[in-house]
Chains A and B, each alone.
Chain A
Amino acid sequence: MIPAAFEYHAPASLADAVKLLGQHGDEAKILSGGQSLIPLMKLRLATPRHVVDINGIAGLDYLKEEDGVLRIGALVREADLEDSEFIRARYPLLHDTSRVVADPLVRNLATVCGNLAHADPANDHPAAMLALGAEVVATGPRGERRIAITSFFTGPFATALRGDEVLTEVRVPVPLPRSGGAYLKLERKVGDFATAAVAVQVALDPAGTCVHAGVGLTNAGTVPIKARRAEGFLRGKPLDDATVRRAGELAAEEADPVDDVRGSAAYKRDLVRVLTARALRLAAGRAGAGR
């Protein structure tokens, strides 16, 4: 399995990268972690004429909380999240997610931003970012613009990014007090994409009532899904067993999966139900523990 020939560019600045993308248009592809792009190129399912490697651009590997947001730079790898004690303690949903993306070797290169930009409905971070209400930053010839994650995924493998834009940052709002999150994924084995997975993020008031809920679904449709009805249902309720079960049912109704080798649509829909309820219990427990 050998990729087709291409021209390689290693710009040293974001401006150069953007310029190269502008020059080569559809014939160019950004290379960040390369863990989706290179496999596709080896299978010749992707045959870009130009590859723009952004790994040489300094200052894109920051992971920091600032002004009420967690900023994840374009060159932050999955392993960086996984290895961060800070992320584990404060963003358990992100930590859970980073631990189940692919396998440990792939995670040493794969980037969080690449995971979003690739926009495979089976990628894990999109659902997590939907649940967290994140925002992404696109940098193009006219500078930066922010895109709400809810309007980022426009179709299977398609995003709101323009051809000459680099996704330079993901911005996750810092958690409210008494927050907890969880990501639960059913995979056939380690290294597999999700048969289905669910991301949830909740915040409770001191009495234990849910004041905020985010629910994202992986591989439950042709795009990552934000389960809005389940979210709406959860708000204002204590996260008791009946509530989380009902939320699971609602999320399952919002799922729109298809039959494939991983299982039937009915199976995946039911997994969404089961995993949503379980993730909510886990998240509520974590939120409570932080009280």
Chain B
Amino acid sequence: MVPRTPPEVGGMGHSVKRKEDARFIRGKGTYVDDIQLPGMLYLDIVRSPLAHARITKIDTSKALAIPGVLAVITGADLAKYNLHWMPTLMSDTQMVLPVEKVMYQAQEVAAVLATDRYIAADGVDAVEVAYEPLPVVVDPIKALAPDAPVLRTDKTDKKDNHIWHWEWGDRAATDRAFAEADVTVRQDIYLPRIHVASIETCGCVAHFDRVADKLTVWMTTQAPHAIRTVFALVAGHVGLAEHKIRIISPDIGGGFGGKVPVYPGYVIAVAASVLTGKPVKWVEDRMENLQADSFARDYHMTCELAARKDGTLTALRIKTIADHGYADAAANPSKFPAGLFHICTGSYDFQAAHVEVDGVYTNKPPGGIAYRCSFRVTEAVHAIERMTDLMAHHLGMDPAEFRLKNFIRPEQFPYRSALGWEYDSGNYAAALRKAMDRIGYAELRREQAEKRQRGELMGIGISSFTEIVGAGPSKHFDILGLKMFDSAEIRVHPTGKVIARFGTRSQGQGHETTYAQIIAEELGIPVADIQVEEGDTDTAPYGLGTYASRSTPVAGAAGAMAARKIRDKARKIAAYLLEAAEDDLVWEPGRFSVAGAPHRFKTIQDIAFAAYTNHPQGMEAGLEAVSYYDPPNLTYPFGSYICVVDIDKGTGQVKVRRFVAVDDCGNIINPMIVEGQIHGGLTMGLAPALYEEIAYDENGNIQGGSFIDYLLPTAVETPRWETDKTTTPSPHHPLGAKGVGESATVGAPAAIANAVVDALWHLGVRHVDIPITPAKVWKLLREKGVSE
């Protein structure tokens, strides 16, 4: 796309350098832990060593004897205010602090309030808790067995560990298609528990001002407005009303979905501040973050595909057990407990499909949230892209050819999928062909054949994913009843400078820059003259926040719509100033001129000044607008990734030699930022594919609960990503944009897994679950008799 504005204006299509960088490169960002208030107290949390146990005694005397320890808060204390349980975003319930029993290892048991973080830690060490162990349920499949101990004994009507059943699609038609199929393949695929592990952990500073009767919370949250509403709902009965709560989300050191939920620590800190009237800081450490905060995935899928002999895909069927831990604390739209998992027909034209998901309780931390990829879309993409590969190999077809044959064709858009989604636009073959050219696909296949002769292991993997983002149309999408619109408020000041406020919250995506570019595009006002603010519920308009790649599709659109309202008014003012009819005015970025008389014009700055000094009679003064954008549909970014791996026969190590990513996210606001998002997303695709997992032993002990064993890739493990793009605008989005923050995380793991299986297929290997560790590959190789 050729930019319509000059570089000084910096509208869409310009790689404008980021405004936010100025403070970050000087160490002048303000993250939650940087906030220090006079008289501030520190909160630290006692956690359970056991995964399932009755609490028989909490002895706080030693802790309270430490000078500087002010209080030890327990579940019993919170129960007095009925604050010991809270609702999750999925309308389940979750403990703030337990009164009776703990449900997972590292669960909050009590909280120590002290004058200093060192003393608080000493206090935590000194609290003595006695437990009576209870039987631990770790495996969600065993959790469904009739004799499994029932975990949620707090729910008097609950007789098992089953949370919900959800299914979608035409079961009968799908069964029929499978019965009639020439070929079917079936595979169990497990997507393990993983954790977003943003480098900044979660925390807050809660300050209840008794005089003003107002609670201010600086908090690591991606969704400040929704959080405020939740707080008002949870604590309304103790006097916290929504207008007396101010949530400020300052600079956020990465979110990726992990900063959407309300964690008990926040609530305890708020309670402690309300009770003491003092500011209270709680910042979790990394181990608490990994062990207790919401996880992603933990999906046990059984996938099946049906096809004709000629390689035409016909039907898909997936059954899933979703392990949610002891509470369903996912952040899915209310109507969709399994998120948008039914995007799992992917980029292919199926006749029939049917999916079933069952949510299950286990003795693990609650969650089921995002990992830079929300609403179970990675799960869906991994399933379909692994299965497509499996079918191609099974039929002896090249996986690229097989995909090209089965793609939804460009002329089929808007396309209604077998599971009911209406895809907005796409050109899947173009993206795949571009990726194949870029990487030299045919040459790589030749090299692979030669290497195989020599006994060397090399694999090529493809993933041609379709994403679904921008939730969502209010008809179908809400969280706790809050519709998933988002908002923008723009004020153009008399000198033509702008303040714009949004309901979202950037965690590194560069909103201060990209939102300014959207406004620059629509109004022709230079980016330098536009200040974007987000994250303060006292000033910003209501919005559901930043996750699921929804900021550009939803809040960005709101920004464009608000700017257009301003432009409409500006047109009226210009007509008045130029003494011309509105219809005779021509807009080009930054000015209205009279048709046929280009020397007669008014700049947007002239018009802004006039809006306050010389506006037409009968018109309200000022130049501002608010927009609450309710998207008519979701957007469907897509792409094709190709990856080459080399496998060390001796050690089982997988090395990603090359990785080409061709993305299509529609029109692009800032190419530099989009590329950065893709690099980051790819790295968060690589990570679970090869390194990261949070596992539990049979007693519910966490493995991988610190950075010692939860392995974030460094610059050495991460390949030099090669990116490219195609551009298929969204027809329904005001800017034609689709959103890109998550595509790469969604698409990359399958490309890597497919490459590994491709390298090993001739040995008889059909599937490997991620993370594909050297130990796993070594085992497969030795089982197949391959060694060095």
Contacts and interface: CB of A to CB of B under 8 A. Distances in A.
Q: Give yes or no for direct A-B contact (beta carbon below 8 Å).
A: yes
Interface of A: 1-2, 4-5, 44, 103, 186, 188-192, 195, 261-264, 267, 270-271, 274-275, 277-278
A256 to B, nearest CB: 18
B234 to A, nearest CB: 30
Contact of B117 (A2, A4, A103, A271): A2
Interface string B101-126: 00000000000000001100110010
Given A2-B117, A2-B118, A4-B125, A189 B714 contact: yes
B691 A189 contact: yes
Interface string B716-746: 1100000000000000000000000000000
17 contacts: A1-B286, A2-B117, A186-B651, A188-B691, A189-B711, A189-B713, A190-B716, A190-B717, A261-B704, A261-B709, A263-B778, A264-B775, A267-B775, A270-B778, A270-B787, A271-B651, A274-B650
Contact of B653 (A44, A186, A191, A261): A186
Contact of B773 (A44, A103, A188, A277): A188
Given A4-B125, A190-B714, A270-B778, 11 more contacts: A1-B121, A2-B117, A5-B122, A188-B773, A188-B774, A261-B703, A261-B704, A262-B775, A263-B773, A270-B787, A274-B651
Given A2-B118, A186-B653, A278-B650, A270 B782 contact: yes
Contacts of A103: 714
Nearest to A263: B775
B132 interface: no
Given A261-B704, A267-B775, A274-B651, A188 B118 contact: no
B583 interface: no
A267 B775 CA distance: 7
- Among A2, A44, A103, find the residue whose CB has the most chain B CB atoms closer than 10 A: A2
In the A-B complex, the 6 residue pairs with the closest CB atoms: A2-B121, A274-B650, A263-B775, A190-B716, A190-B714, A189-B711
Given A4-B122, A261-B704, A189 B716 contact: yes
Contacts of A274: 650-651, 788
A189 B717 contact: yes
B285 interface: yes
Given A1-B287, A274-B650, A188 B711 contact: yes
B118 A186 contact: no
A186 B774 contact: yes
A192 B711 contact: yes
Contacts, number: 60
A267 B709 CA distance: 18
A151 B714 CA distance: 37
Interface string B773-784: 111001100100
B403 to A, nearest CB: 32
A263 B651 CA distance: 11
- Among A4, A263, A275, find the residue whose CB has the most chain B CB atoms closer than 10 A: A263
Contacts of A4: 122, 125
A186 B711 CA distance: 15
B778 A267 contact: yes
A267 B118 contact: no
Nearest to B771: A188
Interface in B267-322: 285-287
B285 A1 contact: yes
Contacts of A271: 650-651
Contacts of B711: 188-189, 192
Interface in B689-714: 691, 703-704, 709, 711-714
B742 to A, nearest CB: 24
- Among B125, B650, B703, find the residue whose CB has the most chain A CB atoms closer than 10 A: B650
- Among B287, B651, B703, B713, find the residue whose CB has the most chain A CB atoms closer than 10 A: B651
Interface string B754-788: 00000000000000000001110011001000011
Interface in B508-537: none
Interface string B404-443: 0000000000000000000000000000000000000000
Nearest to B788: A274
A174 to B, nearest CB: 32
A103 B707 CA distance: 13
Interface in B100-154: 117-118, 121-122, 125
A278 to B, nearest CB: 7
A267 B714 contact: no
A85 B623 CA distance: 68
Contacts of A186: 651, 653, 774
Contacts of A188: 691, 711, 773-774
Contacts of A190: 714, 716-717
Contacts of B773: 188, 263
B134 to A, nearest CB: 26
B695 to A, nearest CB: 8
A155 B782 CA distance: 32
Interface in B355-408: none
A89 B691 CA distance: 34
Contacts of B653: 186
A195 B778 CA distance: 13
A191 B775 contact: no
A194 B222 CA distance: 38
A190 B782 CA distance: 26
Nearest to B774: A186
A4 B287 CA distance: 18
Interface string B645-678: 0000011110000000000000000000000000
A163 B691 CA distance: 40
A190 B714 CA distance: 7
A3 to B, nearest CB: 9
Nearest to A44: B125
Contacts of B778: 263, 267, 270
Contacts of A44: 125
B118 to A, nearest CB: 5
